[in-house]
Structure 1
Amino acid sequence: MEDTATLLPQQDSSRSHRHIYEFHIRFGDIDSQMHVNNVKFLGYLEDARLVMFHADPVLAGLEPVRGMVVSRHEIDYKVPLTGVLHAIRVETWVTDLRAASFKLAYEIRDDEHVYATATSTLVAFDVENARLRRYTPAEREYISRFVPAREKP
């Protein structure tokens, strides 16, 4: 079972801007109450972001978006996620794109349930000089592909 990431097919234009990261629940993700531990959800979000902004651009022959730090996470747990055998996915899109930051929205879901919704704020960071920076035009262009058409900057 391999984790995968893709953009949703274009036939659903209302959701074509969403990045899709699919994965399978691992036994180690299940806690003593027989559902996925809440801390694992943040790991799923991180995995989705890494594929979205690093692996996918590299596979497409583009520069990855580098030097981002999370400044805020907020998560709402909707339905307990148990050790399901089918793939679960993180659907991610951009809700607010600014010069030096952007907000992501997520749904952790399958075809029947939304298990959690979340948001994160990510800021551009100059690792070498240990300070905030602005996103480059190329980074903004890549990030903007995940903004819904009606919200494009």
Structure 2
Amino acid sequence: MADKRFEYRLQVRWSDSDRLGHVNNTRFVEYLQEARANFITQCLLEAEGARGATVVRKLTIDFLRPLFDDSGPLAIEISISSIGRTSFGVRHAVRDTHGALCAEATAVMVAFDLDTQHARPLIDREKAVLADYVHTALDTE
């Protein structure tokens, strides 16, 4: 397994803050989704022979410190924690512009067949691409 990591950068939008002056926790979910979608598009869907759709089965977030309007650009690091027959685990680390870890999240993604509307097995090429990003733990420093 290689030691690759996928990083996605995004800016905190002015509409992301709530009345308390910090980024609303629901926006974290959007940030994670945007980063994960870019990972899937750039890495997994571009894999020759990849069949496409994935759906979120489970998402867990630990909010470690608040984000503010001036916290960006944010860096969201994605790595793979596990690869199964029809699913894979995704780890996310959200860092502010100073590199401080603000949130950690895990997701279970399921390969999905749009025609049958059921889980499908990951193909060998998808597993190979995912394996390049496997890490046992995120760097939390």
TM-score computed with the length of structure 1 as normaliser: 0.79
Describe how 1:92-111 pairs up with structure 2 within 5 A: 92-110=78-96, 111=98
State how far apart, in whole Å, the 1-side matches of 2:110 and 2:76 are.
21
Aligned residue in 2 for 1:87: 73
State how far apart, in whole Å, the 2-side matches of 1:146 and 1:120 are.
15
Structure 1 regions of 5+ residues with no counterpart? 1-14
Using the TM superposition, give the Cα deviation of residue 55 of structure 1 relative to its aligned residue in structure 2, in angstroms.
3.4
Cα 1:102–1:85, aligned 2, differ >3 Å: closer, same or farther? closer
Structure 2 regions of 5+ residues with no counterpart? none
Amino acid of the residue matched to residue 52 of structure 1?
A: F
Partners of 1:53 and 1:64 within 8 A in 2: no
Amino acid of the residue matched to residue 54 of structure 1?
A: T
Amino acid of the residue matched to residue 31 of structure 2?
A: Y
State how far apart, in whole Å, the 2-side matches of 1:65 and 1:135 are.
9
- State how many pairs are aligned: 135
Q: What's the RMSD between the two structures over aligned residues?
A: 2.3
State how far apart, in whole Å, the 2-side matches of 1:147 and 1:86 are.
27
State how far apart, in whole Å, the 1-side matches of 2:71 and 2:130 are.
32
1:6-27 per-position Cα deviation (integer Å, ceiling 9, x unaligned) = xxxxxxxxx9422100011010
Moved more, 81-90 or 22-31: 81-90
Aligned residue in 1 for 2:28: 41
Amino acid of the residue matched to residue 133 of structure 2?
A: F
Which of the residues 23, 26, 44 maps onto 2:10? 23
Partners of 1:90 and 1:106 within 8 A in 2: yes
